């Protein structure tokens, strides 16, 4: 039986197979209030996520946990990774 970092491998079904199960939905719902209020910074670029801006509940790269909220564009890899290049907009 495989041991994951969390110590628990959830049973396979259609809602959890891609890591977007009940826990993800609950976390996203919890964070969404803070995002809607403009109180959350992107987990990847560390810029504020403005109310109404597209965002994702971002996984760590190894999918062992959650980074937190990040801009949809950052989560989908359209932005240089922080630390690889200085932000040209600063
Ligand atoms: Zn971002």
Q: How far is CA 70 from the centre of its chain?
A: 5
Torsion, Cα of 71, 83, 87, 27 (10° steps): 10
Residue 70: the pLDDT is: 95
> How far is the C-alpha of 70 from the C-alpha of 4, rounded, in Å?
25
Residue 55 CA to ligand 1 centre (angstroms): 8
> How far is the C-alpha of 4 from the C-alpha of 64, rounded, in Å?
8
Residue 7 CA to ligand 1 centre (angstroms): 30
> How far is the C-alpha of 51 from the C-alpha of 38, rounded, in Å?
5
Residue 61: the pLDDT is: 81
Neighbours of ion ligand 1 (CB under 5 A): 42, 44-45, 71, 74
Condensed to tens digits (0 to 9), the pLDDT of residues 11-24 reads 555 555 555 788 88
Condensed to tens digits (0 to 9), the pLDDT of residues 48-89 reads 999 999 999 998 888 888 899 999 999 987 545 555 555 555
> Is 90 buried (19+), middle (13-18) or exposed (0-12) by CB count in 10 A?
exposed
Residue 4 CA to ligand 1 centre (angstroms): 28
> Which of residues 16 and 27 earns the better pLDDT score?
27
């Amino acid at each position: 039986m495989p041991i994951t970092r969390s110590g628990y491998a959830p049973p396979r079904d259609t809602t959890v197979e891609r890591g977007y199960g009940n826990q993800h939905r609950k976390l996203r719902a919890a964070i969404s209030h803070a995002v809607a209020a403009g109180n959350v910074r992107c987990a990847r670029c560390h810029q504020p996520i403005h109310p109404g801006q597209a965002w994702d509940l971002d996984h760590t790269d190894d999918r062992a946990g959650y980074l937190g909220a990040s801009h949809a564009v950052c989560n989908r890899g359209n932005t240089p990774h922080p630390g690889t290049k200085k932000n040209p907009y600063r």
